[in-house]
Amino acid sequence: MDHKVLYSSAGIATQILVQDRKKMMILLDVGDGIIRDLLKEEISFPLSIPLHIFLTHGHYDHCGGLFSLLGFLRMVGQSSPVEIYYPKGSKEIEGLINLFISSYQDTTPFKLKSCDLQHKDKINISNDIRVVAYQMKHMGSTLSHGILSEIPALGFAIFKNEEKWLVFTGDTGMNDNLPNFLRNATHAYIEATNLADHYSPYHLSIKKAQELGKLAKDFTLVHTRR
Ligand SMILES: [Zn+2]
Ligand SMILES: [Zn+2]
């Protein structure tokens, strides 16, 4: 089983690929360009293994490629199941899933399952792989409206047997769950949107992310600014 950042840039897209080529594929977020990024990996479609998509929150740079990806899988005749997990109450993600189902239900060749998650929910992917959701702290901001209200946001920890093998924060500001979430992870992907040590309540700075990364055995900063 291996993992790789396919692409990650704040406000553009983030997608992380986790796969065991014979057993299953996990995508952590699917921003714009997800199909192009997967094809670059020379993955052949349709997949013969189940696909599990875990979405950290509803911002376009994390779920904007979902509709395209489902459409692509429908077109190529994917028959193995596709499962989507997302934070409970994420309107954007529910809207995208519902739009796909209502548009293509009769001609979708794969079984599509979706499931909303809350803090500490566990999903068993196989006998030895499970994913645990952790509540994060995130809110939107736009140039015209400034900082907006908090939105449902999760980080995901992938356990291999009892090993906390990989964690991904998604977008988040500092919160009480982060240290425990990151501690002793074999590898951590940590968001580092803010430059240097600039503080904001809904993103981490590079300095803070590096400091938190020391809790894990190894880490990579993602979601940096272009
Ligand atoms: Zn983002
Ligand atoms: Zn975001």
d(CA 54, CA 204): 21
CB atoms near residue 88 (< 10 Å): 14
Distance 223 CA to ligand 1 centre (A): 7
| Closest listed residue to residue 1, CA positions, set 128, 190, 132 | 128
pLDDT band at 27 (very low <50, low <70, confident <90, very high): very high
| Closest listed residue to residue 101, CA positions, set 86, 119, 113, 116 | 113
Residue 181 host element (H or E): helix 178-182
Which pLDDT does position 214 carry in this prediction? 98
Which pLDDT does position 22 carry in this prediction? 81
pLDDT band at 47 (very low <50, low <70, confident <90, very high): very high
Residue ranges with CB less than 5 Å from ion ligand 2 = 59, 171
d(CA 158, CA 161): 10
Number of domains observed in the structure of the chain: 1
Distance 10 CA to ligand 2 centre (A): 8
Is residue 173 within 8 Å of residue 201, measured between CB atoms? yes
Which pLDDT does position 21 carry in this prediction? 77
Which pLDDT does position 202 carry in this prediction? 94
d(CA 65, CA 69): 6
User: What are the pLDDT digits (tens) for 59-92?
Assistant: 999 999 999 999 999 999 999 999 999 999 999 9
Which pLDDT does position 204 carry in this prediction? 96
* b/e per residue 102-139 (b: at least 16 CB within 10 A): eeeeeebebebebebbeeebebebeeebebbbbbbbbb
Share of the chain above pLDDT 70, in %: 100
In CATH, what number is assigned to the domain containing residue 81?
Answer: 3.60.15.10
| Closest listed residue to residue 132, CA positions, set 158, 150, 106 | 158
Which pLDDT does position 226 carry in this prediction? 78
User: What are the pLDDT digits (tens) for 112-170?
Assistant: 999 999 999 999 999 999 999 999 999 988 889 888 899 999 999 999 999 999 999 99
Which pLDDT does position 211 carry in this prediction? 97
- Give the CA count within 13 Å in the CB-facing half-sphere of 183: 5
Shortest-distance ligand to the CA of residue 59: 2
Taking 80 as the threshold, does the pLDDT of residue 45 lie above it? yes
Q: Could you tell me whether strands 112-117 and 154-160 are parallel, antiparallel, or unpaired per DSSP bridges?
A: unpaired
Distance 139 CA to ligand 2 centre (A): 7
CB atoms near residue 163 (< 10 Å): 12
Token representation of residue 101: 């189902």
The amino acid present at 7, given as its one-letter code, is Y
Is residue 165 within 8 Å of residue 202, measured between CB atoms? no
Is residue 13 within 8 Å of residue 7, measured between CB atoms? yes
pTM of the model: 0.97
Residue 150's domain comprises 2-222
Is residue 60 within 8 Å of residue 151, measured between CB atoms? no
Distance 14 CA to ligand 1 centre (A): 7
DSSP-based three-state secondary structure for 96: helix
